[in-house]
Structure formats: C-alpha cells, structure tokens
Structure 1
Amino acid sequence: MELKIGNVRLENPYILAPMAGVTDLPFRLLCKEMGAGLICMEMVSAKAISFHNKNTEKLMEIEEKERPVSMQLFGSEPDLIAKMAAQIEERPFDILDLNMGCPVPKVVNNGEGSALMKNPKLAAEIVRKTAKAIQKPLTVKIRKGFDEAHSNAVEMAKYLEDAGAAAIAVHGRTREQYYAGKADWEIIRQVKEAVSVPVIGNGDVTDPISAHKMMEETGCDGVMIGRASRGNPWIFRQLVEYDKTGNIPERPDVAELKAMILRHARLQLQYKGEYTGIREMRKHVAWYTAGYPHSAAIRRRVNEIETIGQLEEVLESIPEKLDRNSREYYNIMTD
C-alpha cells in the first residue's frame, strides 16, 4: 500500500510519529531500516531557528538514507513560521509539518501546539502563509480538540485544507487527555469524510492488527505510530510483513534485542559522543526491555552506566538461550 503526500510518494502508509526526545537521528535511522514509510523528526521551534540556537541546529540534522523525512515546526506567529520555513527549505527534508497537537504546558502556555486548536482561524493563517512560502508539501498534526467540550478536529481540518495543507494527521485524543484514556477513532473517520487530502490516523496503534483495524474503521490513508515504536523499531517490519504475507513476525529474541540495543548505542555515540549518547540510552534500554522478564533489574544496572563498555557488560550478562524465567537468569540479572 502506497501513500502520496503532495509530490512525495511513500512506499507504505506507516509513519513514525514525531516525539520530542525520542525521534532523534539515531532512532530514526533504525526505524527506517525496519521499513517505516515516512520518518518524522522531533519538533523544532520556529523562534529558536530565528535565534540560530545551536541545539536546534543539531535537531535539524538529516541523513540521506533516512528519507523521505518530515521536519516539524511549531510556533504561533504566521509570518515568523513562514519566514523560517522558507529559510530552511533547502535542507534535505521532503515534507514540512506544523505541530498543532503538542499538549505540553510550556508549549500550550505560549499559544503553540494544541493551543492552536482553540483558534482555527489563526491556525489556518499559519498554514496559508507557510504553504505560500515554500514549494515542499505542508502537512499539519492536530488533536481531537482542546478538551472534550470542544472537539473541533473536523472544523479545524476543513480550515487547514482550505489554507493549503497537503495532509492532516489526527490524534484521537484531546489536549486535556494528553496520552491517557482511549483514542477516539470516530473523530478520525469524521475528518477523513470531511476533507479530500490524505488523513493520517494516530492513537492506540500498537501492532499490525490495530493498524489495519484503524484503517478499516476510519478509512484513513496512513497510520502514525508513536509510543508503540519506543524500544520497538521492529513494529515497522511487522506492519510491512503483515501486509505482504498476512503473518505477524514473532517478537525479537534476546540475541536480536541485544544487537539492536548495541546498534542504537553505537549510533548515539557516532552522532552525540559517549557522554550524552550513553546517558540518553538509559531510557531507550528501559523501553527495549519492557515486558521481558526481570526488566526492572536491567534498568537498575543500566541507569548507572556511563560508557559503551559498561552497556556491553550488562548485555553480555543476559544469556541468549537461558530460560528467562529460571532462577539462574534471575541471579544473573540481580547480581
């Protein structure tokens, strides 16, 4: 199944969601290798770009082999966003996305992210000016609404389409919900029926079965995978394999899990150096090992590591063929 957004053709409709502190360059490369149809970067502040912020510059690094890539901006000033979009358009991203769904207080309190759900006309002005300022496809990520009493995703989507959005991603939760509760797929279906541009569904997709269920129930053109990809880049391989064969590959065994963690860690070192890279790996290892026996013991050990060598020692102590429910395994992991 292909998906076309503007003039950008994706090999499949499965998209890595933009997640602050998660979808950095190393993780994006892994998800691309596993088959993601589109890779979304961490959101970047348009204002920070205008200030030539060094950390922001690092966030905007792109590798040719991860393309097609979507770069995401956030802000609330139409002229500034349009100007910054034009300024960075020469960078090797394929799609520019505008974040109108982030629920974090420091973003919302600035009138940015999901705060724009409360002002569809301002949101449309941002899209209109930005779409005119660049040649690349412009997409927008929104939520169901700001709160349950103001579930205006359909109205918002119509404004955004009219303003020039080439596709719209809809997270089926309100800002008030953050990531709690159940995502409302019905609102995704309503948006899909209300606009003619591609609609990408987001929320509660954890495996190929739920991805296909979302597409069947909502008619959405693509599926965005967020939290279910953390520590699980294999989810994209599963989605692609399921489309091809109808079979869902088994969860990675311990050997593949360890190999992926090490590959991720080495990419972290390559792009960020050992001090930052290994410390950032601590949270990733927690996600990778979640659900495996005695993962709490692994996390305790990993939270103290400072070098790649120490990480290798922890991973080497996990037997690949030992019964993970055995006393011996428990003793090794709590040593």
Structure 2
Amino acid sequence: MGDMTLRLGTLEIATPVVLAPMAGITNAAYRRLCAEQGAGLYVCEMITSRGLVEGDQHTKDMLVFDELETVRSVQLYGTDPVYVGKATEILCAEYGVAHIDLNFGCPVPKVTRKGGGGALPWKRNLLGEILRHAVAAAEPYGIPVTMKTRKGIDADHLTYLDAGRIAEESGAAAIALHGRTVSQAYSGVADWDAIAELKASVTSIPVLGNGDIWEAADALRMVEQTGVDGVVVGRGCLGRPWLFRDLAAAFAGETVATLPTLGEVATMMRRHAELLCQHMGEERGCKEFRKHVSWYLKGFSAGGAMRRDLGLVKTLADLDELLADLDPDEAFPVSELGAPRGRQGSPRDKVVLPEGWLDDTDGIGCVIAEDTVSGG
C-alpha cells in the first residue's frame, strides 16, 4: 500500500485508522483498550460546545483521558460559530488536545431538530463560519481541526461535495464522509462511490471514508475503490477491539484476520471491564460494561442464562466467576465475519428539521438553540 501515514496538519498518525466517537462507548477505557491493539487515532465521545463553555459538569466528566493517551482527540458538536470557537480554545488551552473533530454527521432527531449534526451542512455559509471560528481558535496552538459529515439530509438534499469545498476553503485539516444520508441513519449500505467522488473533488486535504468497515479487508477495499487517505471505524469494532490489530497489520501489508477463541474473547472482556472500573470505580464500571456483553458474545453458543447473568454483573469477582464457565476452546463464529454490528435501525421517512430549514442554504444569523448535554 506504500506509505499510509495519515497527516492531519502537523499531526502524523502511523496507521490511517480513526476510531469514530460513539456516545456511551468511546470513553477513556474503551479508547485505551483499542489503542492497546493497534496504532491510530481514538476519538472521545461527542462534547457539546455550549456544555463546555458553560462549564457543565457532565461535559467535564466526559473529558477524561487515560494516562497512556498521548494523542488526545475530541469530537466537538456545535451550531453557533462563537461558541464552537470558544470551546475549541478551551480544549486546546485547558485539556491539551492534539486534534479536534467537528461533528456534522449526527443523525439523531434531537440534534437535527435544532439544525445540528447532519442537518447543518445544508446551511453552507453557517458551516463555513463554524469551521473558520474553530480553525482560528486552534491555530495558535498548532492543533488540526477536521470535520465529519454525511452525504446530506436525504437523497434530494445532498451536501457532501459543497462540504468538501468549504472544508478546504476554511482551513480544515481533513474531511471524513460517512457514505449515508441522515435519513438513512445506520440502515442500508454505505455509498462508497460518494466517498470516491468526494476524494476526487477535494485535492488539498486528506479525505477519510466511513461506513460498513466490518473487517480489515473492507478497509483495504475502501482505500482501493475510493482512493481515500484513511478510514474511520465505528460499529465494526464493537465487541472486537482486536479489529484495530487487524487494521494495523493490513495497512502494513500483512495478512491477518484475528479469530480469537472464546477464551481469548473472555480475556479481552475482562480487560475491558477492568479498565472501565479503573476509570469509573467498580460499580459504575461494571454497569457500563454490561452493554458490551452481547457484542462480545455475538455468534458464540453461550446460552441465554449466561448472557443474562453477564448483563447484570455488579463486581469484577462476579465477572471472573461467570467468564470461567465459558468454554475457552470454542472457535470464533466465522459466520459473524463481515456482518453488521451495533445499531442498524430503519431509514426515516422524514428527517426532523427546524421549520423552514430547507428554504435557503445560507444560515448566517439564524438562531439555533443548542443543547448543553454532551454525549449525543
């Protein structure tokens, strides 16, 4: 594949793989777990600009980093250029971040209802203003600002090519495209042709592709088909942090597909729970771990009672006892390879938008109320 170092401004990432921020999932413990597997960039859960600027405690609690996290990366959400600029400065000055990603792709109705996330790029001028404020605030610190977006609101309201041009003009260090519209949410198949089209039209900054990377081979295929400079992986790594090991190997030209036995998966589950407990305390850590159980065990023969008990685990001692009952030699269920993971949901007939949102593509001076709640 030649040299696949990903360069975002002054930041160099040895393997061109980014862990997508996922609400409630990509906390410090999970980022550490994934980073232990392979090189790349691991992004913190989405933080709202407003929550950060107003000193919201929940937002501060989410901005926790592992001591081994040398490259801190945060995704910022915002709809007001001034707030986004202030939040960017706080992240650079007080949190020592090395990379800020702006979220213009979130499909959640409570976000699009306010004109945020995947709805925002429809307002071309507002998008440019937000990017320029963030870039200007990060510039004195030498911190790259990137953006992530979707194809558009729906098939009739596409925004990604304009977004690419605006990203270049505004000084963004890269643009990532999820090959779905907001109305598709996580359903259907990601459109890699759109990613290729964006890559062809954006010539001065890296373009990253996102959508339907379930195995390392998919990442190589995306690079080959679209020419992207790197990949963003979200749901594909749920219950499979070793996907990052496979990706690092694949980009280094080695053929590896990790097929762990159930015993090895149990060891990974234990490590994940342990890291969560280190960061959050045992009670909350175990509670947080529960949501990952079904992803780790997907396709294995572990019975309903076992899954139920693991889903109610309260202490690491309980977890150890339960994991000891799994058959350590059971082979990885190859039927799960290449299969979608995490939420899929169904397409939405209508994306919830502010009244009159589609009437014009300007958006400067339009008042958008922004939530202070971080984490999506």
TM-score above 0.5, yes or no = yes
Partner residue of 2:104 out of 100, 106, 109 = 100
SS in structure 2 opposite 1:251?
coil
CA distance in 2, matches of 1:236, 1:269: 22
Amino acid aligned to 1:5: L
1:124 counterpart residue number: 128
Query: Residue 198 and residue 245 in structure 1: after superposition, are their counterparts in 2 closer, same or farther (change >3 A)?
Result: closer
Partner residue of 1:140 out of 147, 158, 164 = 147
Q: Answer yes or no: is the 8 Å Cα contact 2:91–2:97 preserved in 1.
A: no
Q: What stretches of structure 1 of length at least 5 have no aligned partner? A: 326-335
Q: Answer yes or no: is the 8 Å Cα contact 2:196–2:227 preserved in 1.
A: yes
CA distance in 2, matches of 1:324, 1:19: 25
Q: Any residues of structure 2 matched to 1:169-180 within 5 Å, and which?
A: 169-180=176-187
1:114 aligns with 2:114: no
Q: Answer yes or no: is the 8 Å Cα contact 1:64–1:92 preserved in 2.
A: no
CA distance in 2, matches of 1:292, 1:151: 40
CA distance in 2, matches of 1:50, 1:246: 45
Query: Residue 137 and residue 84 in structure 1: after superposition, are their counterparts in 2 closer, same or farther (change >3 A)?
Result: same
CA distance in 2, matches of 1:175, 1:322: 40
Q: CA deviation at 1:251?
A: 1.2
1:87 aligns with 2:94: no
1:203 aligns with 2:211: yes
Q: CA deviation at 1:259?
A: 1.0
1:73 aligns with 2:76: yes
CA distance in 2, matches of 1:69, 1:257: 27
Q: Any residues of structure 2 matched to 1:27-46 within 5 Å, and which?
A: 27-46=30-49
Query: Residue 118 and residue 296 in structure 1: after superposition, are their counterparts in 2 closer, same or farther (change >3 A)?
Result: farther
Deviations 1:197-224 (A, max 9, x none): 0001000011121111100111100001
2:343 counterpart residue number: none
CA distance in 2, matches of 1:266, 1:256: 15
Out of 240-249 and 230-239, give the one that drifted further.
240-249
1:307 counterpart residue number: 315
Q: CA deviation at 1:245?
A: 4.8
Q: Answer yes or no: is the 8 Å Cα contact 1:34–1:237 preserved in 2.
A: yes
Q: What stretches of structure 2 of length at least 5 have no aligned partner? A: 334-376
Q: Answer yes or no: is the 8 Å Cα contact 1:206–1:228 preserved in 2.
A: yes
Amino acid aligned to 2:124: P
Q: Answer yes or no: is the 8 Å Cα contact 1:2–1:11 preserved in 2.
A: yes
2:23 counterpart residue number: 20
Query: Residue 322 and residue 162 in structure 1: after superposition, are their counterparts in 2 closer, same or farther (change >3 A)?
Result: closer
1:253 aligns with 2:256: no
Q: Any residues of structure 2 matched to 1:251-330 within 5 Å, and which?
A: 251-294=259-302, 296-321=304-329
Higher relative contact order (CA 8 A, sep 6+): 2
Q: What is the identity percentage for the equivalent residue pairs of Structure 1 and Structure 2? A: 39
Deviations 1:89-117 (A, max 9, x none): 12222111100001111111122111202
Q: CA deviation at 1:148?
A: 1.0
1:328 counterpart residue number: none
Q: Answer yes or no: is the 8 Å Cα contact 2:21–2:46 preserved in 1.
A: yes
Partner residue of 1:158 out of 165, 180, 200 = 165
1:234 counterpart residue number: 242
Deviations 1:168-220 (A, max 9, x none): 01000000001000000111111111112000100001112111110011110
Q: CA deviation at 1:59?
A: 1.0
Q: Answer yes or no: is the 8 Å Cα contact 2:260–2:332 preserved in 1.
A: no
Q: Any residues of structure 2 matched to 1:58-69 within 5 Å, and which?
A: 58-69=61-72
Q: CA deviation at 1:146?
A: 0.9
Q: Answer yes or no: is the 8 Å Cα contact 2:179–2:210 preserved in 1.
A: yes
Amino acid aligned to 1:152: T
Query: Residue 217 and residue 305 in structure 1: after superposition, are their counterparts in 2 closer, same or farther (change >3 A)?
Result: same
SS in structure 1 opposite 2:146?
strand
Q: Answer yes or no: is the 8 Å Cα contact 2:262–2:331 preserved in 1.
A: no
Q: CA deviation at 1:149?
A: 0.8
Instruction: Flag the structure with higher helix content.
Output: 1
Partner residue of 1:181 out of 188, 198, 203 = 188
Q: Answer yes or no: is the 8 Å Cα contact 2:145–2:174 preserved in 1.
A: yes
Q: Answer yes or no: is the 8 Å Cα contact 2:242–2:258 preserved in 1.
A: no
SS in structure 2 opposite 1:173?
coil
Query: Residue 166 and residue 244 in structure 1: after superposition, are their counterparts in 2 closer, same or farther (change >3 A)?
Result: closer
CA RMSD of aligned residues (A): 1.6
